[in-house]
Amino acid sequence: MRALVRRVLSASVSVDGQTIGEINRGLLVFLAVHKDDDDSDLGWISQKIIGMRVFDDEEQKMNISLVDKKYDLLVISQFTLFGSLRKGFRPSFNHAANQEFAIAKYHKFLQIISEKCMGRVASGEFGSDMKIHSIDDGPVSLWLDSKEKNY
As a residue count, the chain comes to 151
Q: Which of 79, 82, 89, 101 is catalytic?
A: 79
Query: Would you give the end-to-end CA distance of the chain in angstroms?
Result: 14
Is 6 within 8 Å of 55 (Cβ atoms)?
no
Q: Which of 19, 47, 80, 111 is catalytic?
A: 80
Catalytic residue status for 19: no
Catalytic residue status for 80: yes
Which residues is 134 bridged to in the sheet? 11
Q: Which of 55, 78, 82, 109 is catalytic?
A: 78
Is 43 within 8 Å of 1 (Cβ atoms)?
no
Catalytic residue status for 79: yes
Q: Give the residue numbers marked as catalytic.
A: 78-80
